[in-house]
Amino acid sequence: MSSQHEIDELLRVLRQQMRERYHRMVPTGELLFDRFSKAAELGAGTASSVYDSSLVLGEVEIGENVWVGPNTILDGYHAKLSIGNWVTIAAGVCIYTHDSSKRYLSGGRDTGTTGAVTIGDCSVIGTLAVINPGVTIGKHCLIGSHALVNKDIPDNSIALGVPAKVVGRVNVSTNGSVKYDWD
**124-144 burial: b if 16+ Cβ within 10 Å, else e:** bbbbbbbbbbbbbbbbbbbbb
Q: Which residues contact 181 (CB under 8 A, 6 or more apart)?
A: 168, 169, 171
Neighbours of 157 (CB within 10 A): 22
Half-sphere exposure of 57 (CA within 13 A, CB side): 14
Kind plus residue range of the DSSP H or E element containing 80: strand 73-83
Distance CA 109, CA 2 (A): 53
The reply to whether 23 belongs to the active site is no
One-letter amino acid of 35: R
Catalytic residue of the set 5, 23, 78, 98: 98
Residues noted as catalytic: 98
